[in-house]
Structure 1
Amino acid sequence: MAKSLDRDSLQRVAPKLAQLTQDVLFGDIWQRSVLTPRERSLITLATLAALGRVQQLPWHLQFAAENGLTRDELAELFTHLAFYAGWPAAVAALTCLDEENI
């Protein structure tokens, strides 16, 4: 699996996308008060896993931990997801969780 771009490599490869990510996604969307960062992390991880975007999962798993989610809660998220997004999506996400130090 190819490694996901981090902030610095994204800036180098696609400066405008890096700027939009910082300004719009994390500077606006993630800052809105209707949902907590913890809730946004749950939604983001479920969506990424359901869509098979496993390259993005490691970074978001760490971010979810920073937003207060525990390893047990993340495992439960992906277990629950198996019934809605399918077993392969859940197992792929759990594989990423197993590889992270959360």
Structure 2
Amino acid sequence: MHRPLDRHTLEQVSPKLAEITQNLLFGDIWQRETLTPRESSLITLACLTALGRDAQLGWHIRFAEENGVSRAELSELFTHLAFYAGWPAAVCALSYLPEEQEPCR
């Protein structure tokens, strides 16, 4: 049975891969100064979408928002990707966007 793994369940299933992910990927690659975290998020979402790795899209969308990517920019990213990664990939990615929130009044 397929189950998406998050940071905690990955650690239970494969402690070494979880360690490498934390130390190398998020502790080094994501911390490099040439690309901003915002740019890295956009690149990551584009790759996940193009490769059909939708199990990780939800987490990376939330992470992108933390890195300053707006919902409108995410929508535009996936619309743009429809022409380069394929329509089904873009529509699948769009399904992971959270519903728009009503502005506070």
1:31 equivalent in alignment to 2:31: yes
Normalised by the size of structure 1, how large is the TM-score? 0.93
Percent identity at matched positions? Answer: 68
Normalised by the size of structure 2, how large is the TM-score? 0.90
- Counterpart position of 1:55: 55
More RCO (CA 8 Å, sep 6+): 1
When Rg is computed on C-alpha atoms for both structures, the one with the higher figure is 2
Divergent runs of 4+, >6 A: none
SS of alignment partner, residue 93 of structure 2: helix
Structure 2 CA distance, aligned partners of 1:53 and 1:99? 21
Q: CA deviation at 1:96?
A: 1.1
Alpha-carbon RMSD across the aligned residues, in angstroms, is: 1.6
Task: Give the partner amino acid of 1:62.
Answer: R
Q: CA deviation at 1:64?
A: 0.2
- Counterpart position of 2:11: 11
Q: Which runs of 5+ in 2 are unaligned?
A: none
Structure 1 CA distance, aligned partners of 2:83 and 2:46? 12
Structure 1 CA distance, aligned partners of 2:38 and 2:4? 22
Aligned partners of 1:58 and 1:100 also within 8 Å: no
Structure 1 CA distance, aligned partners of 2:3 and 2:93? 15
Q: Is the helix fraction higher in 1 or 2?
A: 1
